[in-house]
Structure 1
């Protein structure tokens, strides 16, 4: 008994000592983190920049965080002030109306850290946004340190590993643009530590909850985490058990399967509703180009970019140069660290072959956004070999020297790799490696080697930061000014619409006025723009049917000023900048309000005959017949009959009055037509379509099957001109040709469409571009005019070959628009109110009709007519409809996120399973103690 008490006392003293040293470690880590983070932040602050990226940061990340804060406060208000429980699930202010959970999970909902938004006023969101960027990076270091300490690594080594891990290129570059890109860096070490605990037959709690929180936080990185989780479990199995029986393998597979399923079940309340919309998007289904190899320049810069500048396709490595010294030491130890060596080789193979980037990106476009996992491996390799730095043999030092020389030659031999950043990174690597090789000969104190190694490590980190945000790189120019980001979301467009004072339910559209999409989320207006990574597949399908002039399936700004589409979408106001009224669609001719923003005047024009949010048809068009119509016929048909699979109302045969007009193609300098293709050999070369347009029409340029292939510098020069060039001139072109990248250059192209009072753009995305969604047919509305148009000028911004299956000019008369619109709006939904996720209104119809509500169709909607549950049909591809009988009716439509109830049930099942696991673990522990 006395012996046992003595052991317990020793263990307690040991634990106190360990805790004390851990406390010292985290104090040092925190101070070091704050100093380096301050250095990084000052790069922004001293240049008057915020950490909000102008492109996605304003309309998506910051916008979502501000919205989420108000959303959470609204829920708490209903609970504690109104004493009721209500969670809004749908919002008309997001795009055409969107599910809140599925749209914002990718950005904020599910991430535990963003819950802090509930305490932050909207006006202070930018401060919280910046704080969360650094908090995530800080927590990633904490998670990494816990993994290192679990594996009995020293505090010195762990500290240096943390610096390598959290201040690599991924956080310096990617996490500044997309704050939540740091989240997987927090979860990965915890998940891997959880796997180790399971192998050691310790409690599986850490594994289950780490996987569950990762699943709740972001489905995109959860997929990648799952792949690395499996790879790590396999590596650790063979490291611990070697080649074993199938029975043992099956046992461990079963154990991990059970715990993984429990974790996924816990996350199902968010994960399940989010996954299904993602799988239905064109961006996910598009067949992107996946080459066998990257371009030559990628491999030329590959080695130097591991410790230097960024590679293409999100290959953002940029590890501190000292980490490469660790790799040299690792491979100098011939009979040790086989698992780490195998892992390093495998993960580099992932970076070398595009197919790996394709698989790890969800079988979508090629992207190496998984490189944060490489960062953990690099950091942990350094942690493991750190003790080896102090006892290298002469033979091992010679091997390291050979590795260093080989790396320097291979990394800097190609011209493309010898950039300033890469040269300095390699210089730091040489100094750090020679410092390690000098230990035991030039100096012998361990403390000196530790300080010098740590100094070179921090120098590498600071240099990478400095260069990434240097004036030469000009990365800072991509970020918003301090305090400006939220103000940008209060656009002049929205202010003009709000000044109308109109309290009814309607939408607005615009042309050329939006500084950012999604601004309606902040101002409470209802627009036609949208820019989030998860989009409704039905909206995309509708845009494909009418060939809307945008190549994106999740990013759209307007309806291209097309009168019919605006009427069908219940667009009551159209906003243009003062002096640009030529962009107004037909019928929007009454100035309703105007507002000034940053010295620009924005004007909102009203259509007196605009359709309300709910309008009625007395006939229908079968979907099969609608599918056979041309693009222009489809939009005309939608004003004459509702498109349904079947209906009780009579079928109609729509009448069409569009007219295709012949044109003559006149090519200018640098542009020639050949075999149905336009070959452009000079930037901004032009071609003109000359025709006799009709009066009082919208004139459309329709291009079908558009594709683009870039031309290399050599291909831009004819053989005749080439033969006349001097040898020097030819060599110069050949040099430029060697740096030219087909894969990169052929990603996208732009055609400016201009005419009298017109300037629009057709954007072409090829399957080599990461935003490619498969769209290749476009209808560009050149605008309405009382007098027939005579020409359209095409300006090709990019050199290359523009191919197309067909190109035509079509005139769409407006003379029937008003009568057709009036017919739909005569008997419409009145007293419409939309609150949270419920729409109510009343209607009176003189005969059996179909009520179309211009909200995007979703299985989450449920309709009640006069209190009776009624089938809600999908109509006109993207909207929804109710069949009504003659008489007066009260309409109520509610919304509940699809699969949320199922996900909630599964989450409850997962929690119950987890409780069972806890009880079993406690029982086993009790049995062992007994």
Structure 2
């Protein structure tokens, strides 16, 4: 019996590892329970991008792995359609994401909370494992430092960027691999953990790779013996790093191709050698609670690690137990990292040549790791600093605190009580760091209490400044949209897209599994927002929002069904779980095919199939007009081959214009409205009465937006997605013959430029004739999936093409009647194939570009690595 007890007894190291995992895990779980995050209450962990973007990708991940593996490489939920390798590589390849498979529907938020707290716990675990492996740190001191690492300011501020948190889990393991590579010559740990990081998140891996170069320089100096040995170490480091990349080339090469179509096109080509902010401003971030919502879009680097770790790092540089050359090299690395938080070229280097859109200084987890690592070298039980060392550290800390206190009013994220509380922790930490009886049991206990209390308080203060989406807001909306999608897909199994007049996020299509037109993704090809801007829908560098479709674009983009939020009456008047994002009067041309309490479902009789026989004029169309109505007309005319279709839209005059507290204008389009009195409301009311039942549209330039004015149409707020940078089209009237339409624009500021503000009438009869012509010869699909289309199409002439609304990519491969043929790009966006007169059997298949080369390189690298390990294992004497 005693032997069995000993067998199951934990060793001191195992207790340390367990404590390092459980401490941050429990702290964050208790906090989330306190905030009533699902499954603990009515709130959720969803906020900012986690609630607007990542949660939709997680829903897609579940659907792809459990129900639709064909969408792993390509998905038509990705905007109008797009490759998915880049999305997987950036957002979805954390192994912990597999836990989400157990959380269907509305419980997905509970799964997100679980993997979040697990990542905090695992970060503490891996850092403690590193300490146990290569330092004398043990027990509560190791747990304290590991908790400071797991709950660093970067990890708290970026808790919502859940896919980045894997970096702090894997960094200690990769660093250990580097140590082994440098000291013992063993490649295995490095060749395991660095490739895993490259797979899990290439973006964070890039930053870690830059840090590995800095760490190598420090280690090369610290372990220097001979120049020959340094050359061997350098070759070993370079070879192992290149081999790590080669091992995962099957992922990295297709991802690189994806980046060349998206993020790489936004890379800064020039920079200035200047400070982005006052360098010493970053010192304020060492104080607890120095974070709020305003810090997300811009602000100093989040480098909070607690007073103990900061003092420990400072003592490293005056610790005579450590070789001077090592301290000097560490100082160079530290200065480089410090300058990276304020000097523009270095900031751009860490972010691969691009200024971050929100979440600045994303590499600051590297700084936190480095400082805590230095502290771990110093804060050992045999550390007894002399008076000179103590004096030097006290002077540095005092100067830093003095600077922060002198500029406290300029730090809106740092309050006076937080500053003085931070000073108190500095005093406690200084006493503990210089405590003469470190081998007494009270020392590690006090270190643990003070250290863990401070990082816990920081997490509490930081996250209390952030608001979250309620569980009902997410769950009710998602459940209703899923019902609408399910009813549609059960009754129609053909391939089509769905539009809607409401949204929770631009990733709703990913969330509920339909082919849409909107998306928010860092992997979005640049051509997609360019196209959306051309047709009059909102766009940005990383998003598109198909909220402003017309009868023309709905038809050409195969928007076969539409969902519209209902105007409720009675007790539910003025309420809706479906937030309106657009005004779509032209739904009057579509047929209602179903409805429930919250929404109606429409079918578009003019929707074209995913492909159809069209004029080859589309291959030579160079549509450069900035007018979205003319762009759409030119696009349709090129498909029909009828030049008269270029005159689809005509500009109309308003019947009456009334000004209130605004100077009179004789011309509305391009007018600069100015308030007469800035203290009074200013508005303009425009009236028109349609003479027929045609569709009427308004165009609005980027200045005519909800930030500058409010818009009401016939007394009701004109719903519109607020962010757009190009001229958009707004559906104003349809089937409203003889009805007075009154649009009121109320200025929010002293002036408003009515940029590209024009009323247009669509020639509905000509539009219907053009669409009917294209509907005569559809691509009749016998099989379809996200990456495979197979069917027949009839061409009545030799100069016709199969025009599709599939976004162009070299990954799409076509065969016509069994022979491989070239694909063509139309309007710099879509895919077309030339046809011969008669019936053509056309097949389109998608395969990620560069994947074959990546598989070859990865395969050869795996053979090399495993062959080398096998050879070494078998050449050893038995």
TM range (shorter): 0.7 to 0.9
Alpha-carbon distance in structure 2 between the residues aligned to 1:232 and 1:128: 36
Alpha-carbon distance in structure 1 between the residues aligned to 2:726 and 2:50: 30
Q: Which residue of 2 aligns with 1:819?
A: 769
Paired residue secondary structure (1:655): helix
Closer/same/farther in 2, CA of residues 391 and 677 from structure 1, 3 Å limit: farther
User: Are positions 1:876 and 2:827 aligned together?
Assistant: yes
User: Are positions 1:260 and 2:241 aligned together?
Assistant: yes
Per-residue deviation, 1:295: 7.3
Per-residue deviation, 1:593: 1.1
- Contact preservation (8 Å) 2:381, 2:438: no
Q: Which residue of 2 aligns with 1:620?
A: 617
Alpha-carbon distance in structure 2 between the residues aligned to 1:915 and 1:215: 19
Paired residue secondary structure (2:504): coil
Q: Which residue of 2 aligns with 1:4?
A: none
Alpha-carbon distance in structure 2 between the residues aligned to 1:399 and 1:534: 48
User: Are positions 1:858 and 2:802 aligned together?
Assistant: no
Counterpart of 1:465 (choices 445, 459, 464) is 459
Per-residue deviation, 1:448: 2.6
Counterpart of 2:301 (choices 294, 307, 315) is 315
Paired residue secondary structure (1:211): helix
RMSD: 4.1
Q: Which residue of 1 aligns with 2:46?
A: 53
Alpha-carbon distance in structure 2 between the residues aligned to 1:75 and 1:594: 28
Counterpart of 1:520 (choices 501, 509, 512) is 509
- Contact preservation (8 Å) 1:570, 1:613: yes
Alpha-carbon distance in structure 2 between the residues aligned to 1:53 and 1:303: 28
Q: Which residue of 2 aligns with 1:235?
A: 218
- Contact preservation (8 Å) 2:283, 2:400: no
Q: CA offsets, 1:461-492, max 9 Å, x none?
A: 1211221243xx2x2x32442x8745543344
- Contact preservation (8 Å) 2:699, 2:729: yes
Q: Which residue of 1 aligns with 2:756?
A: 807
Q: Which residue of 1 aligns with 2:419?
A: 423
Q: CA offsets, 1:194-217, max 9 Å, x none?
A: 222222242111112222111111
Alpha-carbon distance in structure 2 between the residues aligned to 1:690 and 1:239: 76
Q: CA offsets, 1:850-898, max 9 Å, x none?
A: 2222222222222233333333322233222222223233333222222
Per-residue deviation, 1:133: 1.3
Q: Which residue of 1 aligns with 2:340?
A: 350
Q: CA offsets, 1:20-68, max 9 Å, x none?
A: 3322322333443443233333233378255531443245333333432
Q: Which residue of 2 aligns with 1:703?
A: 701
- Contact preservation (8 Å) 2:806, 2:830: yes
TM-score, reference length from structure 2: 0.83
Alpha-carbon distance in structure 1 between the residues aligned to 2:740 and 2:345: 49
Paired residue secondary structure (2:441): helix
Q: Which residue of 2 aligns with 1:379?
A: 372
Alpha-carbon distance in structure 1 between the residues aligned to 2:678 and 2:808: 46
Closer/same/farther in 2, CA of residues 301 and 884 from structure 1, 3 Å limit: closer
Q: Give ranges in structure 1 of 5+ residues lacking alignment.
A: 1-15, 77-85, 644-649, 709-747, 766-775
Alpha-carbon distance in structure 1 between the residues aligned to 2:222 and 2:749: 54
Counterpart of 1:449 (choices 435, 438, 443) is 443
User: Are positions 1:143 and 2:126 aligned together?
Assistant: yes
Paired residue secondary structure (2:354): coil
Closer/same/farther in 2, CA of residues 436 and 521 from structure 1, 3 Å limit: closer
Number of aligned residue pairs: 827
Q: Which residue of 1 aligns with 2:606?
A: 609
Alpha-carbon distance in structure 2 between the residues aligned to 1:50 and 1:876: 45
Alpha-carbon distance in structure 2 between the residues aligned to 1:461 and 1:565: 53
Paired residue secondary structure (1:890): strand
Counterpart of 2:85 (choices 90, 93, 101) is 101
Per-residue deviation, 1:307: 4.0
Q: Which residue of 2 aligns with 1:575?
A: 563
- Contact preservation (8 Å) 2:59, 2:512: no
Q: Which residue of 1 aligns with 2:431?
A: 435
- Contact preservation (8 Å) 1:288, 1:364: no
Q: Which residue of 2 aligns with 1:593?
A: 594
- Contact preservation (8 Å) 2:537, 2:549: no
Counterpart of 1:530 (choices 519, 522, 529) is 519
Q: Which residue of 2 aligns with 1:504?
A: 494
Paired residue secondary structure (2:636): coil
- Contact preservation (8 Å) 1:670, 1:682: no
Q: Which residue of 1 aligns with 2:156?
A: 172
Per-residue deviation, 1:426: 1.6
User: Are positions 1:269 and 2:255 aligned together?
Assistant: no
Q: Give ranges in structure 2 of 5+ residues lacking alignment.
A: 1-6, 568-579
Alpha-carbon distance in structure 2 between the residues aligned to 1:533 and 1:817: 36
Q: Which residue of 2 aligns with 1:80?
A: none
Paired residue secondary structure (1:316): coil
After TM superposition, list the pairs within 5 Å mapping 1:161-240 onto structure 2: 161-175=145-159, 177-240=160-223
Q: Which residue of 2 aligns with 1:642?
A: 639
Q: Which residue of 1 aligns with 2:16?
A: 25
Alpha-carbon distance in structure 2 between the residues aligned to 1:830 and 1:669: 57
TM-score, reference length from structure 1: 0.79
Per-residue deviation, 1:559: 4.3
Per-residue deviation, 1:183: 0.9
Q: Which residue of 1 aligns with 2:572?
A: none
Closer/same/farther in 2, CA of residues 371 and 707 from structure 1, 3 Å limit: farther
Q: Which residue of 1 aligns with 2:29?
A: 38
Alpha-carbon distance in structure 1 between the residues aligned to 2:30 and 2:678: 45
Closer/same/farther in 2, CA of residues 389 and 632 from structure 1, 3 Å limit: farther
- Contact preservation (8 Å) 1:693, 1:811: no
